[in-house]
């Protein structure tokens, strides 16, 4: 087998500029009145020969990183809002969906990297995702079983306390417990 190429962190000439000048370039990139050529000319006047193509590649890379950060922040904000609105919700499901979506996006954008990924590493990722799903399902089943036991205990207590004293109230409370049990069974399915 041929030698596999090592991926290195992308560096550009812009990254090597003094921090103050790099910040100036980033500010110029944010101003849509400046072209890549304008920025290149400014850098030449400061004594740095950086082509407009290098400026363009740097802009693409930094814009992509900024966009990914904004997307992650938005997803996190939406997850937090959902948890605030419904604290009893299964927020792990939302987090898993976000993670799965990001993995899918990563795979779609990085076919070359995927092709080069060692089979054992790909298998470990798949096993980790499967374990997470099994663990989540097991927790859900355990909670459903505990809820059924709690409802059965509730019914026994209601019968013991109210059957002879308040039969109508006893019956109504048992009906409520039965409806809750039906909803739990429907959610399990």
pLDDT digits (tens, 9 = 90+) for 105-149: 665 655 556 667 777 887 888 888 888 888 888 888 888 888 888
Across the range 85-93, mean pLDDT stands at 69
Q: How far does CA 83 lie from the centroid of its chain?
A: 14
pLDDT at 181 over 80: yes
Query: Virtual CA dihedral for 7, 36, 108, 136, nearest 10 degrees?
Result: 90
User: How many residues are given for the chain?
Assistant: 189
Instruction: Please indicate, yes or no, if residue 108 is contained in any of the structural domains.
Output: no
| More confident site: 82 or 184 | 184
**Exposed e or buried b for every residue in 9-40, given b needs 16+ CB within 10 A?**
eeeeebeebeeeeeebbeebbeeeebebeebb
The pTM score is: 0.36
Across the range 45-51, mean pLDDT stands at 91
Whose CA is closest to 147, among 182, 172, 174, 171?
182
Q: What percent of the chain has pLDDT over 90?
A: 7
Mean pLDDT computed over every residue of the chain: 79
Across the range 28-49, mean pLDDT stands at 88
Instruction: Please indicate, yes or no, if residue 2 is contained in any of the structural domains.
Output: no
Of 48, 75, 93, the residue that ends a domain is: 93
- The sign of the torsion formed by the CA atoms of 66, 72, 75, 77 equals negative
Same domain, 28 and 88: yes
Domain that holds residue 165: 119-189
Instruction: Please indicate, yes or no, if residue 141 is contained in any of the structural domains.
Output: yes
Question: Which pLDDT belongs to residue 1?
Answer: 47
Of 30, 58, 93, the residue that ends a domain is: 93
Of 93, 127, 157, the residue that ends a domain is: 93
Same domain, 61 and 127: no
Same domain, 89 and 15: yes
- Three-state SS for 176? helix
Question: Which pLDDT belongs to residue 140?
Answer: 82
Q: CA 32 to CA 34: how far, in whole Å? A: 5
Instruction: Please indicate, yes or no, if residue 35 is contained in any of the structural domains.
Output: yes
Total domains present in the chain: 2
């Amino acid at each position: 087998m041929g030698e596999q190429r090592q991926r290195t962190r992308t560096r550009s000439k812009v990254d090597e500029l003094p921090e103050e000048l790099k910040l100036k370039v980033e500010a110029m990139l944010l101003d849509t009145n400046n072209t890549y050529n304008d920025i290149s000319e400014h850098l030449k006047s400061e004594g740095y020969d950086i082509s407009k193509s290098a400026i363009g590649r740097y802009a693409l890379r930094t814009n992509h990183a900024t966009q990914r950060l904004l997307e992650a922040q938005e997803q996190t904000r939406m997850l937090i809002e959902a948890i605030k609105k419904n604290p009893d919700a299964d927020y792990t499901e939302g987090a898993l969906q976000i993670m799965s979506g990001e993995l899918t996006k990563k795979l779609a954008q990085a076919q070359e990297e995927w092709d080069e990924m060692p089979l054992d590493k790909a298998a470990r990722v798949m096993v980790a995702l499967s374990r997470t799903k099994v663990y989540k399902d097991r927790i859900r089943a355990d909670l459903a079983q505990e809820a059924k036991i709690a409802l059965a205990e509730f019914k026994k207590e209601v019968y013991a306390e109210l059957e002879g004293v308040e039969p109508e109230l006893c019956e109504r409370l048992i009906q409520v417990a039965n409806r809750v049990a039906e909803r739990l069974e429907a959610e399990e399915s």
